[in-house]
Amino acid sequence: MTRYLFLVFFLLSLPVAAHFEGDTPPPHCSLNYQDGSQVQDWQAMKGQVIYIDFWASWCPPCVKSFPFMNQLSQDFKERGLQVIGVNLDEKRAEAEAFLNQYSPNFTVVFDLDKQCAKDFNVIAMPSTYIIDKKGFVRHIHRGFRPNETETMRELIDALLNETI
């Protein structure tokens, strides 16, 4: 009996694991711009490198990541990088206040029903997905640490140099 009890405890303690591996197309998302209009699908952005970042206003690493994403957009936009910040705030007003304060120079969209985050299997805040020119997810990064920005820039640079 004790053995079965241990087994029950062990099974209950296992985390629910789901995988969203690289080198696969990103899931289709229904996202909205700040004015409510619908965002085009990822497939329509084929040929560009897309940097998708899921963020929320209450998350301190997200705040730190904004200057980095601004810089990325500034440095690589001409070469075909599309930086898209997907907001996951539960209260829209908090996101709006944040955006007024930090005024990003990249595209910010809203995942109102959080279905996109679910489909992308977002398990950390912030979570970054980099999609290459062919439309495949090539890199998944969870969290934001300033000492990893250089590696990220090198990766984006390499992806931008790729040809379809």
Partner 1 sequence: MKKCSSVFTSLFLLGVITILSGCSSVAPWERGVLAKPQMALDPHPLQSGVRMHNYGSREGGAGTNAEGGGGGCGCY
- The helix/strand/coil state of 160 is helix
> Residues 46, 68: contact at Cβ < 8 Å?
no
State the residues that interact with partner 1 by CB under 8 A.
1, 5, 8, 12, 16, 54, 56-59, 88-91, 94, 114, 117-118, 122-125, 127
59 vs 81, beta carbon nearer partner 1: 59
76 vs 110, beta carbon nearer partner 1: 110
Q: Tell me how far apart the alpha carbons of residues 98 and 122 are, in angstroms, rounded to a whole number.
A: 21
Task: State the nearest-atom distance from the C-beta of 56 to partner 1, in Å.
Answer: 6
Angle of helix 149-161 relative to helix 60-76, nearest 10 degrees, comes to 40
Task: State the nearest-atom distance from the C-beta of 26 to partner 1, in Å.
Answer: 18
44 vs 124, beta carbon nearer partner 1: 124
- The helix/strand/coil state of 89 is coil
Question: How far are the Cα atoms of 66, 83, 90, 157 from residue 70, in angstroms, in the given order?
Answer: 6, 9, 24, 16
127 vs 128, beta carbon nearer partner 1: 127
> Residues 53, 82: contact at Cβ < 8 Å?
no
Task: State the nearest-atom distance from the C-beta of 121 to partner 1, in Å.
Answer: 10
Task: State the nearest-atom distance from the C-beta of 96 to partner 1, in Å.
Answer: 14
